[in-house]
Amino acid sequence: MFFDLGTSKSKSNIKEYYDMIIIGGGPAGVAAGIYAVQGGIKPLIIEKDLDGGQINLTEYVENYPGFSSITGEELAEKMGEHAKKFGVEFHYGEVINVNFEKEEKIISLDDGNIVKAKTVVIATGATPRKLNVPGEKEFAGRGVSYCATCDGHFFKNQKVAVIGGGNTAVEEALYLSKIAKEVYIIHRRDKLRADKIYQDKAFNTANIKFIWNSVVKEIKGDKKVNQLVLENRENGEVSNFDVDGVFVFVGLLPVTQLFKDKIKLDDYGYIIVDEHRETNVKGVFAAGDVIQKELRQIITAAADGAIAASFAVREYFN
């Protein structure tokens, strides 16, 4: 269960103008808020769900400095508390429209509030593309994972499946091969889409095996995942495959629909930023999983937020 952080979408008495509006209250947004306050400006974080964002969906976090092991919910709560103690103001609601055409940026919320700011940090993140099969939602965090770096260590010397055939799937399978006893890459086609360098490494790793032309139809288990139902796309044969965990890497969906035609996005929908995390629109920044990047982790999202806010303070308020 999630912590009750008192999130409410009823209209509240927030001010009309802030120095910085941060859309998203995950690690990137919280870090941006803290660094904005440190820089002497007044930020507002707008979060549609819970402080900490998707960290709340992670059972345990064991690779964030300072915490050898902490639940995702606890870390998320601590992040929110930290920002609030610094004086960062939070508002719980959903942004439904943005206007970046003028120097004063205008943000419209679903509760009727309209707020304005000189600068904006977009930290809306990205969501893993789901398989959308029975059992996936029920076993999320209980054998179903979308991050090998986050959860791979829970499957030491066990049998896991990796769903997908692109660079991310094969890279994560290689990572898991150092932890798990057996790693099965299950791909809907008869060959991988990953770059040759990754394919070669995977084919030459003894404990990585392949199941071709197959898709997952259902994820089964008791308290945790213990079986996949697979369908062969060539002959239609359905079979059960015993497994201790399943890692899904069939793509990410950046949460950027709201910003289409407002700022530049790449072909995959990620926001294009420079080294300061600034977009093509002056005063509008983006941070965290919503931008194209190599490593999507809590620590890198927080770093993005810190960089964006620090540069915004120097460039637009000094």
For residue 12, the model assigns a pLDDT of 60
Predicted confidence at residue 74, as pLDDT, reads: 95
Sequence length of the chain is 318
pLDDT at 5: 38
Q: Is 150 among the residues known to form the active site?
A: yes
| Boundary residue ending a domain (248, 273, 290) | 248
Cβ atoms 115, 44 nearer than 8 A: yes
Rounded alpha-carbon distances, angstroms, from residue 155 to 112, 193, 243, 296 = 47, 26, 11, 20
- Are 122 and 90 in the same domain? yes
Please indicate, yes or no, whether residues 96 and 73 belong to a single structural domain of this protein.
yes
Answer yes or no: is 9 within a domain: no
Report field, pTM of the whole predicted structure over 0.85: no
Catalytic residue among 19, 150, 244, 289: 150
Residue 175 near residue 150, CB atoms below 8 Å: no
269 domain-assigned:
yes
Instruction: Say which CATH number the domain at 259 has.
Output: 3.50.50.60
Q: How far apart are CA 123 and CA 97, in angstroms?
A: 15
Report how many domains make up the chain: 2
On whether residue 4 sits in a domain, the answer given is no
- The model's pLDDT over 254-300, given as tens digits with 9 standing for 90+, comes to 999 999 999 999 999 999 999 999 999 999 999 999 998 888 889 99
**Residue 274 bears catalytic tag:** no
Whether 242 and 266 map to the same domain: the answer is no
* 187 and 204 assigned to the same domain: yes
- Domain containing residue 108: 17-127+253-316
Apex 284 CA angle, 95 and 261, nearest 5:
65
Q: Is 5 inside a domain boundary? A: no
User: What angle (nearest 5°) sits at the alpha carbon of residue 66, between those of residues 252 and 34?
Assistant: 70
Amino acid 55: pLDDT: 84
Please indicate, yes or no, whether residues 67 and 88 belong to a single structural domain of this protein. yes
- Same structural domain for residues 311 and 267? yes
- The answer to whether residue 2 sits within a structural domain is no
Calculate helix-pair angle for 72-86, 27-38, nearest 10 degrees: 20
Instruction: Determine the pLDDT at residue 11.
Output: 53
In a domain, 11, yes or no: no
The backbone torsions φ and ψ at residue 182, rounded to the nearest 5 degrees and listed phi first, read: -135, 140
Question: 134 and 244 share a domain?
Answer: yes
235 and 271 in a common domain: no
Assigned domain for 163 exists:
yes
50, exposed or middle or buried, with CB in 10 Å at 0-12, 13-18, 19+?
Answer: buried
Is the residue at 96 inside a domain?
A: yes
Domain boundary pick from 190, 221, 248 = 248
Out of 207, 233, 248, a domain closes at 248
The one catalytic residue in 151, 244, 289, 304 is 151
Considering the domain architecture, whether residues 90 and 38 belong to the same structural domain is answered as yes
User: What is the DSSP track for 95-148?
Assistant: EEEEE-SSSSEEEEETTS-EEEEEEEEE---EEEPP---TTTTTTBTTTEES-H
Q: Which residues of the chain have pLDDT under 50?
A: 1-10
Q: Are residues 109 and 141 in the same domain?
A: no
Same domain, 183 and 290: no
Known active-site residue 147 = yes
Reported as a single tens digit per residue, the pLDDT across 24-39 is 999 999 999 999 999 9
Q: Are residues 304 and 203 in the same domain?
A: no
Q: Output the pLDDT for position 72.
A: 85
